[in-house]
Amino acid sequence: MQKARIYVANWKMNMHLDSGLQFANDCKALMNDNENTEKQGSPFSQNGAKKHIILCPTFPAIYPIAQLLQNVPISIGAQNCSEHEIGAYTGEVSAQSLSEIGCSYCIIGHSERRKYFHETNEVIARKVVKLFASTINPIICIGETAQDHKDNKTLEVLEHQLNPIIKAINEAEQFPETVIFAYEPVWAIGTGKTPNNETLHATFNWLAAHLTRNIKNIKVIYLLYGGSVDEHTALEMVKVQNIDGFLIGGASLDFQKFKNIVSLA
Ligand code: PGA
């Protein structure tokens, strides 16, 4: 199976409803143009490989954007969900509720959630299981801090973050056919700094081997890179073996920049 290349727009707590709808409308127009130009070779299918866009708005914008994009091959994701199924958890949103409003993906364990909301690897593992049960594909974020990076502990940290998540995936009663991991070095998020291709090559090779060896039930694993992705960095990083796409923060707030990344990289 040839993998699609994945582009996730993580809008974080940015984009109000009107700008989110405008962005989604622009994506829709791009998809329509793409259909018309498919035969001449289009930015959305290079050398037969499809490109898959996943927009991740704030919770209130999910439903209207999902409605707007009905019948358009663009997916909608959330940026978080509850580790609980249902009940008295004021302010939380369950995986089931997300599924009902048109979400098919959900970012989990983003470093901002880990840092500001104290999410642990165990909490993230429970969220993965809840998402699986609601047929939502998690986009599981992992990554080392600047200090870990300086201490040369990247792989050690990644392995530690992954342990409970892999265990939960292997023990899940329900699971999808594919699972997505996003490697986001914390020091690269929003800083303009990125690892060089040599470092990325080593990290992604390790990730691919580690996940394939240890995840028993899901055979297709996608690996994304996130952290200061723009049209220039993406064009370089796309050369790295085992990078299947990008998780894009800042550059996903501007349609033209996002379009350039999707078209070029
Ligand atoms: P950035 O954010 O592209 O602005 O660095 C990426 C992310 O936090 O997912």
Q: Which CATH superfamily is domain 5-264 in?
A: Aldolase class I (3.20.20.70)
Q: What is the pLDDT of residues 161-189, one digit of tens each?
A: 999 999 999 999 999 999 999 999 999 99
Tell me which of 83, 112, 144, 184 is the catalytic residue: 184
Helix pair 121-133, 154-171: axis angle to 10 deg = 40
| Known active-site residue 149 | no
pLDDT at 117: 97
> How many A from CA of 182 to the centre of ligand 1?
11
Helix pair 17-37, 255-264: axis angle to 10 deg = 30
* Domain ranges for the chain: 5-264
Which atom in ligand 1 lies closest to the alpha carbon of residue 141? 9
Q: What is the pLDDT of residues 114-146, one digit of tens each?
A: 999 999 999 999 999 999 999 999 999 999 999
Average pLDDT over residues 18-40: 80
Q: How far is Cα 121 from Cα 232, in angstroms, rounded to an integer?
A: 32
Which atom in ligand 1 lies closest to the alpha carbon of residue 229? 3
Q: For residue 19, give both structure tokens.
A: 């700008």
pTM over the 0.85 mark:
yes
pLDDT band at 20 (very low <50, low <70, confident <90, very high): very high
